Amino acid sequence: MTTIPRIAIIGGGPGGLMLARLLHVRGVAATVFERDVHADERPQGGSLDLHADTGQRAMLAAGLECEFLAEARPEDQGDRLYDADGTLLFDRDGAGDDRPEIDRTALRRILLQSLPSGTVRWASGVEAIRPCADGRYEVDTGGLVETFDVVVGADGAWSRVRSLLSTARPAYEGVTMVELGFDTQRHPDVDSLVGSGKMFAVGDNHILVGQRNGHGHIRGYAGVRMSETAAQALGRLPTEGIRAEVLRAFTGWAPSLLGLIERGDILAVRPLYALPIGHHWTTRPGLTILGDAAHLMSPFGGEGVNLALADAVDLADALLSGEGWPAVERCEAAIAERAIPAAEGAAEGLQATVSTGGVASVLEHYQSRVGDLAAWEANR
Ligand SMILES: Cc1cc2nc3c(=O)[nH]c(=O)nc-3n(C[C@H](O)[C@H](O)[C@H](O)COP(=O)(O)OP(=O)(O)OC[C@H]3O[C@@H](n4cnc5c(N)ncnc54)[C@H](O)[C@@H]3O)c2cc1C
């Protein structure tokens, strides 16, 4: 490409916004099409830990390290594990770890504020992308049609862009998470249960998660193994119907843990889906994907957002390399390859945690991680 390409990014999640920022700092304007009507239209989900070689590397490349450090919460990296009786099996404060947490809303705000106004077109759900005879692509937002040299699908799990490159579809992973919200002042019991970071309570095919967020909030998840049809039916129930069903699923659990389900604000029902591990796609000049659109996986590895941010760094480099599409093609292969161990870890983590032998395998995982961290500390 000798002239600066006109770039459309479909999706204003972490991956799409990071790509727009990285292009902007190198003097290339992109248009981000986002179907949300505004930045706060829907809850963005819980806290995310950014890893050094992926998420943190991206913030540095974007020139947003200070903004990240101002919002990051290194003090919230602790882990606790309970069994279904409410017995605390593992407790580690994790304060010295290198995976600081940041609220998803804060991350989105930092990225949005780093872009020139007008970069993100809100309320612009893309309905179709069509190839033109000259090799460019039309982006159709339901009436308004614009033409771009490059279209990047950062449009998440159900990506429309992906469907032009691959026949793969996300498959249901067998587990659904009901998302809960707490204000720590109103729920001091939940506050002390969670500790300084994240708690898991694991029982036979069930899991409760409590995750400390910024500004006195805690995000919870009640995970249950159920069929996709049951998950869809659960999602259609009114809030109190969802609560009653989830409480029924956790019958016999300790009252201290059931408080999470009884008193949390019910925010969403999230069935977990994943693309096939090793998903790759046929390269098609002018059209590509990143983040969940490329390698959706369950959140049990804590890698999804980190990979989306790292993909954006690599794709920005490839798009601006001056080598044309072969550089993007190499980047696509690298993105797909890098996601494989994370996707394997996420699938194994989900299957091991929400299982009949759940708590023992999670305890073993935490104990081995302590060993790894001790070795890492000793070698620093
Ligand atoms: C319950 C849960 C917990 C998670 N916890 C973690 C965690 O702790 N750590 C972690 O690393 N990851 C976690 N993840 C995964 C993480 O959320 C994703 O991997 C990450 O958000 C992917 O970023 P993305 O930019 O690729 O896609 P998304 O964040 O999905 O963003 C896609 C954007 O595209 C927009 N969009 C979609 N279709 C269109 C369209 N047709 N037109 C216009 N806009 C469109 C959407 O509105 C959205 O804003 C979790 C996921 C879930 C479900």
Report if residue 83 sits inside a domain: no
- Whether 160 is in the pocket of ligand 1, judged by its Cβ within 6 Å, is yes
CA of 292 to the centre of ligand 1 (A): 6
Q: Which atom of ligand 1 is nearest to the CA of 291?
A: 26
Q: Which atom of ligand 1 is nearest to the CA of 11?
A: 34
CATH code for the domain in which residue 143 is found? 3.50.50.60
pLDDT above 50: residue 1: no
Q: Give DSSP secondary structure letters for 53-94.
A: IIIIHHHHHTT-HHHHHHH-BGGG-EEEEEETT--EEEEE--
Q: Identify whether residues 163 and 177 lie together within a single domain.
A: no
Q: Identify whether residues 105 and 179 lie together within a single domain.
A: no
Q: Give DSSP secondary structure letters for 203-256.
A: ETTEEEEEEE-STTEEEEEEEEE--HHHHHHHHHS-HHHHHHHHHHHTTTS-HH
Q: Which domain holds residue 257?
A: 172-273+359-372
pLDDT number for residue 46: 82
pLDDT above 70: residue 251: yes
> In this predicted model, what pLDDT tens digit does every residue of 175-200 receive, in sequence order?
999 999 999 999 999 999 999 899 99
Q: Identify whether residues 211 and 136 lie together within a single domain.
A: no
Whole-number Å distance between alpha carbons of 269 and 243: 11
- Whether 345 is in the pocket of ligand 1, judged by its Cβ within 6 Å, is no
Report if residue 110 sits inside a domain: yes
What percent of the chain has pLDDT above 90? 85
Q: Identify whether residues 148 and 189 lie together within a single domain.
A: no
Q: Identify whether residues 22 and 146 lie together within a single domain.
A: yes
- Whether 308 is in the pocket of ligand 1, judged by its Cβ within 6 Å, is yes
DSSP letter assigned to residue 47: E
* Candidate from 10-24, 149-163, 203-217, 350-364 with smallest mean pLDDT: 350-364
Q: Which atom of ligand 1 is nearest to the CA of 55?
A: 11
Q: Give DSSP secondary structure letters for 272-301.
A: EEEPPTT-----BTTEEE-THHHH---GGG
Q: Which atom of ligand 1 is nearest to the CA of 14?
A: 25
Number of folded domains that form the chain: 2
Q: Identify whether residues 342 and 207 lie together within a single domain.
A: no
CA of 85 to the centre of ligand 1 (A): 33
Average pLDDT over residues 330-345: 98
Which pairing describes strands 101-103 and 47-49: parallel, antiparallel, or unpaired?
antiparallel
Q: Identify whether residues 105 and 135 lie together within a single domain.
A: yes
End-to-end distance of the chain based on CA atoms, in angstroms?
44
Q: Which atom of ligand 1 is nearest to the CA of 125?
A: 42
Q: Which of 9, 18, 19, 35 to mutate to test the pocket of ligand 1 (most atoms within 8 A of CB)?
A: 35
In this structure, how many other beta carbons lie within 10 angstroms of the beta carbon of residue 285?
A: 13
Whole-number Å distance between alpha carbons of 306 and 266: 26
CATH code for the domain in which residue 245 is found? 3.30.9.30
- Whether 12 is in the pocket of ligand 1, judged by its Cβ within 6 Å, is yes
CA of 267 to the centre of ligand 1 (A): 16
- Whether 45 is in the pocket of ligand 1, judged by its Cβ within 6 Å, is yes
Closest residue CA from atom 2 of ligand 1: 299
Report if residue 78 sits inside a domain: no
Identify the CA nearest to 45 among candidates 247, 354, 349, 272: 272
CA of 374 to the centre of ligand 1 (A): 33
Report if residue 146 sits inside a domain: yes
> In this predicted model, what pLDDT tens digit does every residue of 92-150 receive, in sequence order?
987 778 889 899 999 999 999 999 999 999 999 999 999 999 999 999 999 899 999 99
pLDDT number for residue 354: 95
- Whether 305 is in the pocket of ligand 1, judged by its Cβ within 6 Å, is yes
DSSP letter assigned to residue 158: T
DSSP letter assigned to residue 174: E
Instruction: For the full predicted model, state whether its pTM sits above 0.75.
Output: yes
Helix (H) or strand (E) holding 21: helix 14-25
Whole-number Å distance between alpha carbons of 208 and 335: 32
Report if residue 343 sits inside a domain: yes
CA of 2 to the centre of ligand 1 (A): 33
